[in-house]
Amino acid sequence: MPEGPMIAQLDLELRGVRKRYGSFLAVDGVSLKVEKGQFVCLLGPSGCGKTTTLRCVAGLEEPDEGDILIGGRQVTGDPPWKRDIAMMFQDFALFPHMSVAKQVGFGLEMLKKPRAEIGKRVAEVLAAFEIAHLAERRPAQLSGGQKQRVALARAMITEPRILLLDEPIGALDYALREAVMLELKALQQRTGISFIWVTHDQNEAFSLGDHVVVMNHARIEQQGPPEDLLSRPRTAFVAGFIQGNNVLRGKAGAAEAGVLPVETADGRFHVPIIGAAPAPGSEVSFSVRAERIEEGENDLPNRIAARCTTVEYFGAFRRHVLSSGSGVTLKWDQFGALPPRLRAGTETTLGWRTEDSVLHA
Amino acid sequence: MHWKTRSRLTGWILGTVTVGFLLYQWLPIFVLGLLSFSGPTGGTTFPMNGVSLHWYRELWDASIMNDFKPPVLRSFLLALACSATTVVLSVTAAQAVRGQFRGHNLFFYLLLLGIMAPGILVGFGFALMMRLLGVDPSWDTTAYITHVSWTLPFGFLTMLAVFNRFDPKLEEAALTLGASRVTAFRRITLPIVLPGVIGAGLFGFSLSYDEYPRSLFTTGADLTLPLAVMAQLDRQLTPELYAIGTTTTLFSFLAIGVFTFAFWTLRRRVQPR
């Protein structure tokens, strides 16, 4: 990709951002590009640095190193109120002493807009978010879903270039979340505002994000479109973090015809090579998706003996959790209403095609 | 015995102790108030000789009130000044400690010394120091400073407790919405912590208004009310003094009442229902 002309197209760029709290490294060299109108999800376990990264973009934290550019402009030293952003907090951070109308208009008030214009805009926005009837209420009188709408309306009214969302639906009832997710996605597409959404929930990240960034221990493990992360996890962490992956570790053998033999405690497996082959004898890991597994007698080239420990029922599928001879946890997903083949305690064999496994870097 | 019966019993015992304590606390004041209504021939102890407003009338006409008017005015102004100073300094000090600057723990304990140090020594030491510097003691300079050293820690602790419950995300939300730090403080932080600010002001007022030990050496020739009362006690004891005591007590209740009323209305404005 050419570097120069693209920059103007970027809503946000992070270059090697690093943030330390005392001896604790919270963000370690994060680089990221967000194109205009993109929906980016920062995904990772708690303490991985995703929220700190977001707060650096907002200007609430000052990075120790690295640059932050918003709309191509250096903002690294700028305070939050001089950045073209808005932010939604996990618990919404509504001002308890202000009515809904007052706090939705707060951003415009800060821009010193005339009173009449603020009143008109607030009325429009409240109507658009279907909260006009709540205009005179205070936050203590609102339900969780209503608070979420007010917080969103308050952040969106100034039409910022970027909306930063820190676990924006984490505080909502589970039943509400899906509907709110769909609405937010539609809103983002309609307005063309870039969303940067921090979450620890991979379902959120993969169903919403155009671009998903997986973080762990202050670093970016992998970033790309969701389908890339799902089909090609680049590290054992990413594979293990994304639900439904079986991760196996072992020693690399000598590669032959684009296939790498991997020696594990549960036998030898074959994994296709991406790029350069790892040195023979080095530690490697690979993963296979649970729905790619086949159970029972077959002539697949990769086979592993395992004992079923539990069977979990999800909406569309049944997940069998098994344990291999060496104690590795394995998952096999079965779709459709077939009669159950395994119960806890059943001994069986799992197999997969070589092309269904993914070698990690 | 069932544990619920036992806890009911404990409840009765603790309740009795509490009522006893409250009586112990309030009866003396009540006794003074009662004796201030005794007749013209009444003394300063029981039994009361008749019931009248005689001593209040005396208070109004006689020279003794002229002796007391200036001290009342001084104490009132001094208490107001201490209240305002306590509010400003305790809010700023608590804000500073909230920012966790280097040495904030030491700062915390140094401020709290004002509560720990014996008042009479603080006053005496301060008076000595001022004499060395050639400053004459006066109720509106030296006494004012020693009073603030006493009232400030109470206001400071109040504000720390209030800020402890304050969610800093609210300020951050305001900053991301385009408010500068000053605007965020004025529009978001201050209105939310205002009940605490009023509490700090109340401490400042009531602790200064009846302060005796810190005033003793720092006030100079123009006495504050507690000093004037003590001086009068040394001269002669009549129910007139009780009338003064009752009047000023009612007056400080009134002041506290006004503060409390303001507190509740503001609290309700911030957190309806």
Each residue's pLDDT expressed in tens, for chain A with a length of 361 residues:
444 444 457 999 999 999 999 999 999 999 999 999 999 999 999 999 999 999 999 999 999 999 999 999 999 999 999 999 999 999 999 999 999 999 999 999 999 999 999 999 999 999 999 999 999 999 999 999 999 999 999 999 999 999 999 999 988 888 889 999 999 999 999 999 999 999 999 999 999 999 999 999 999 999 999 999 999 999 999 999 998 999 999 999 999 889 999 999 999 999 999 888 899 999 999 999 999 999 988 889 999 999 999 999 888 889 999 999 999 999 999 987 777 788 889 999 999 999 999 999 8
Q: Six-digit token pair at A142?
A: 């609102």
Say yes or no to pLDDT of B239 above 80.
no
Cβ burial of B158 (10 Å; 0-12, 13-18, 19+) is: buried
Task: List Cβ neighbours of A165 (8 Å cut-off, separation of 6 or more).
Answer: A87, A88, A195, A196, A197, A198
Sheet containing A194-199: order of strands = A85-88, A162-166, A194-199, A39-43, A211-216, A219-224
Query: Is the pLDDT assigned to residue B250 strictly greater than 80?
Result: yes
Phi then psi for A195, rounded to 5 degrees?
-110, 135
The mean pLDDT value for B186-195 works out to 92
ipTM for the predicted complex comes to: 0.88
B159 assigned to some structural domain? yes
Query: Does B18 map to a domain?
Result: no
CB atoms within 10 A of CB A280: 12
Q: Round to the nearest angstrom and report the end-to-end CA distance of chain A.
A: 23
To the nearest 10 degrees (0 to 180), the angle between helices B63-98 and B142-164 is: 40
Instruction: Answer whether A93 sits within 8 Å of B188, measured CB to CB.
Output: no
- Amino acid identity at B66: N
Q: Using one digit for the tens of pLDDT, what is the confidence trace for B156-178?
A: 999 999 999 999 999 999 999 99
Closest by Cβ to B188, choosing from A95, A107, A140: A95
Question: HSE (CB half, 13 Å, CA atoms) of A112?
Answer: 2
Q: What's the average model confidence in pLDDT over B232-237?
A: 78
Residue B138: which CATH number?
1.10.3720.10
Question: Looking at beta carbons, which residues of chain B come within 8 Å of A97?
Answer: 191-192, 269-270
Spell out a b/e string for A306-339, using b for 16 or more CB atoms within 10 Å of the CB, else e: bebeebeeeeeebbbbbebeeebebbbbbeeeee
**Confidence (pLDDT) at B267:** 65
- For chain B, the average pLDDT equals 88
Pairing of strands A211-216, A39-43: parallel
- How far is B160 from chain A, CA to nearest CA, in Å? 20
Residue of B nearest to A111 (CA): B178
Of A87, A100, A101, A110, the C-alpha closest to A194 is A87
- Indicate whether B57 belongs to any domain: no
In a domain, B255, yes or no: yes
- Collect all residues with Cβ–Cβ distance below 8 Å to A352 and sequence separation of at least 6: A288, A292, A293, A294, A300, A302
Nearest to A91 among B169, B181, B269 (CB): B169
Q: Determine the Cα–Cα distance for residues A207 and A20; give it in Å rounded to an integer.
A: 32
DSSP state of A223: E
| d(CA B191, nearest CA chain A) in Å | 7
Percent share of chain B, pLDDT over 70: 95
Instruction: Express each pLDDT in A124-182 by its tens digit.
Output: 999 999 999 999 999 999 999 999 999 999 999 999 999 999 999 988 888 889 999 99
Taking CB atoms and an 8 Å limit, are A87 and B172 in contact across chains? Answer: yes
Residue listed under structure tokens 């003794």? B64
DSSP 8-state secondary structure symbol assigned to residue A338 = P
Q: What is the pLDDT of residue B273?
A: 38
At A161, phi and psi to the nearest 5? Answer: -70, -40
| CB distance A319 to A332 below 8 Å | yes
DSSP of A256-290: BTTEEEEEETTEEEEEE--SSPPPTT-EEEEEEEG
Residues of chain A that touch chain B, judged by Cβ-Cβ distance less than 8 Å:
58-60, 79-81, 85-87, 89, 91, 93-97, 106-107, 110-111, 138, 140-141, 154-155, 158, 164
pLDDT at B175: 97
Could you tell me the residue range of the domain that residue B108 belongs to? 68-270
Residues of chain A positioned with their CB less than 8 A from the CB of B193: none
Residue B59 lies in a domain: no
What is the SS3 assignment for A88?
strand
pLDDT tens digit string along B52-66? 888 888 777 766 666
For chain A, give the number of residues.
361
Q: Are A215 and A229 in contact (CB under 8 A)?
A: no
Kindly report, residue by residue over B75-103, the tens digit of the pLDDT: 999 999 999 999 999 999 999 999 889 99
Contacts of B84 (CB under 8 A, 6+ apart): B201, B204
Is A89 in contact with B172 (Cβ distance < 8 A)?
yes
Residues of B in contact with A60 (CB under 8 A): 172, 175-176
- Give, as one character, the DSSP assignment of residue B49: -
Q: How confident is the model at residue B268 (pLDDT cuts 50, 70, 90)?
A: low
B192 occurs within a structural domain: yes
Q: Which residue has 């080239």 as its token pair?
A: A301
Number of domains in chain B: 1
Q: Distance from first CA to last CA of chain B, Å, rounded?
A: 41
Residue A106: CB atoms within 10 A of its CB come to: 23
- The answer to whether position B25 is within a domain reads no
Distance, in Å, from the CA atom of B63 to the CA atom of A269, rounded to the nearest integer, reads 109
Would you say residue B215 lies in a domain? yes
What angle is formed at CA A10 by the lines to CA A5 and CA A11, rounded to 5 degrees? 150
pLDDT at B270: 57
pLDDT for the residue numbered A1: 44
Structure tokens at A75: 């903002």
Task: Residue A171: list chain B partners with CB under 8 A.
Answer: none
Residue type, A62: E
Q: What is the DSSP string of B97-156?
A: HHTT-TTHHHHHHHHHHHHHS-HHHHHHHHHHHHHHTTPPP-TTTHHHHHHHHHHHHHHH
